[in-house]
Amino acid sequence: MYGRGVATALLIVFACGLVTALAWPSHGPTLGAMTAAFYRAGALVFGGGHVVLPLLQEALVDPGWIAPDRFLAGYGAAQAVPGPMFSIAAYLGAIAPTGWPPALSALVALLAIFLPGFLLLAATLPVWQHVQAMRGAAPMLAGVNAAVVGLLAAAFHDPGVGTRHRIVARCRRRDRRLRAAGSTARGRVVGGGVVRGGFGRDVSDGLVGDCPHQPFSERGRGAL
């Protein structure tokens, strides 16, 4: 087990990375700007994978680097595969127009979003038992957990992809089509989201699309 010196060094690395990511210019979809965006998301998010969606939307969709439809396709694909929601970083990194090979961009994005959490975990392990024994630690963690519930509720209600007025009617039509699709809906949703969404098309032949108020898993649940 390493000591507090190593833990302090890891915490400094985390802080320096965060300061650099916050100060990095984001004038265009360069590899450095994309890495900074994913590091910021991984460092600032707290409360579960879905909470990261608004941060990624603000960093990648709002500037026009990634289209909202393709962002939602990645959201659907990330929910269709096992593992944490952070795996969406690989998809977003691959389709971001950084000018680098998609495989390299995907790897960099994946490492950048996971790195802050690993640095914080390694930095707190040597002193975690001491923190747990401190007076007020338990109420503080209970308050943090309560705040996490609010963050998750906000992310569940609104993934943050915008353009609601343009797509409300489309969402209603697609919900009706999804309910009428019967037992084949799940395969069409997952397969269509992965294959067609990666090319910027409507997901699964118009069955799912880009509804901001309804998460991917909920859209297919009514038909199954």
pLDDT tens digits in sequence order for the chain, 224 residues long: 677 888 899 999 999 999 999 999 888 889 999 999 999 999 988 766 777 888 898 899 989 999 999 998 888 888 888 878 888 999 999 999 999 999 999 999 999 999 999 999 899 888 877 777 777 777 877 777 777 677 666 655 555 444 444 445 555 666 666 666 654 554 555 555 555 444 444 443 443 444 544 444 444 444 44
Residues 71 and 173 in one domain: no
Judge whether 97 lies within some domain. Answer: yes
Whole-number Å distance between alpha carbons of 16 and 6: 15
Residues 100 and 193 in one domain: no
Give the H/E segment covering residue 86.
none
Domain that holds residue 172: 164-221
Residues 168 and 105 in one domain: no
pTM of the model: 0.65
Residue with tokens 């590091």: 39
Structure tokens at 49: 């994978």
The answer to whether the beta carbons of residues 76 and 219 sit under 8 Å apart is no
